[in-house]
A and B are shown apart, each in its own frame.
Chain A
């Protein structure tokens, strides 16, 4: 009962949303079931072009699943996803062309060099031949990879590998950037660098970014809006300014959701 009510409420909320800027990401009634386990339940939200959205939630909340559905790697059990107006299932090629995606583990070929690898991805993503070389150069440059461009990726540190993953995601200048925990496992300096890079990308105002994380200061540092999910459902969707302006810190909100979540799980386990 509770579930259905919530789904309806959420559905209504997205129906009302429809800003001036074109929608870069539209998610409606998204569900994903793995056997008996429902990883995502009736998730709906939309992101306007140029927005930087933090996709927040505890581990196992379904963040990665949602990102994989957004990028077309996984099909949804139910619901629709449109990227820059293209449905990820029925208009898959156009939708994928509009997306730059950094998965949780950067999809790297350890035996290749960053230069060769980013060039390969540029070809995959249909970067026109005339501008390919320049696009690869720019991506390497922006991610601070110029110095290691001819080293084998397997020899690079984790921070550099993450940057190669990011270079791969931005090489075709995508309308939508999907980053799955881009700073996980990095040291503080590397984290700062990656954040600076994301901030720089979003500073153009054209780049839509959705990034998942469970690190709160990260969201506060770079995002304009927060979508919080717990156990596959949307719990909160608000601009960051509104959230932190009301007196409650992001951490408080997050903790509340997590504890409620844990209590729910316990109650379910007892039943």
Chain B
């Protein structure tokens, strides 16, 4: 696996030669800025109202981490879900469309080099996204005194969600040569993983004989990204949450590798 870096650096360079990367970066920056201002205004308004009603104990308990940074990051990870497919859709699909898969698969490299190289390029990109988002909470350190650890845990959470979604994107991009299909497939997978799983549990358990606390329901709930966000945003880094991101990424990368490899045998 000595060629992961070769694949990744080429991919990243090509990404920045296309307009898509800049569109996504711009949208991300604008959305992050907007959400931050909204979070800030909400925080301020709430403080004013509490002051108005002289609810001093509640003012006392308000802090930048729980009432500003947490809701901010809590909305940003959902934005990842909408923007990331545009970045990952071409990772493998464009190789097939260009015919460059024939170059990669006849070079003295392994399929893991390709999969991990693509993944690494995506990870580098979402690291830039996380850094941009992190700029806004960082501003608060200038004007106030949020807790550093808690803030960093939130950023780590945003990064881990994004990294996991890159792995999903690599897989979705490997099943087709058509970037639009890859985009839609990634988006659907992310929607299911990120938003719909809890609803699926609710719908399937209500009315049917399966209890909402059955093992199946528990597993499905565990698969939902949302179940592994809240605690981390509150500054609690749990190994079971970290394991979720690691396992999910590994599964999708393994699937991608299998798909690319099996395409030869068809």
Give the interface of A toward B (CB within 8 A): 68, 71-75, 92-94, 96-97, 99, 101, 103, 105-112, 116, 120-121, 123-126, 168
Contacts and interface: CB of A to CB of B under 8 A. Distances in A.
Contacts of A96: 106-108
B98 A124 contact: no
- Nearest first, the 5 A-B pairs at minimum CB distance are A107-B103, A124-B107, A107-B100, A71-B106, A97-B108
B49 interface: no
Contacts of B264: 73-75
B6 A73 contact: no
Contact of B107 (A103, A106, A111, A125): A125
Given A73-B106, A120-B10, 12 more contacts: A68-B102, A73-B105, A73-B264, A74-B264, A94-B108, A96-B107, A99-B106, A108-B100, A109-B10, A109-B14, A124-B3, A168-B103
B58 interface: no
Contacts of B105: 72-73
Contacts, number: 68
B265 A75 contact: yes
B99 A103 contact: yes
Contacts of B3: 123-124
A71 B107 CA distance: 9
Interface of B: 3, 6, 10, 13-14, 17-18, 98-110, 264-265
B103 to A, nearest CB: 4
A99 B103 CA distance: 11
B108 A109 contact: no
A224 to B, nearest CB: 25
A107 B103 CA distance: 6
B100 A124 contact: no
21 contacts: A72-B105, A72-B106, A92-B108, A96-B107, A101-B106, A103-B99, A103-B102, A107-B99, A107-B101, A107-B103, A109-B14, A110-B98, A111-B17, A112-B10, A112-B14, A120-B6, A120-B10, A123-B6, A124-B103, A124-B104, A125-B107
Nearest to B3: A124
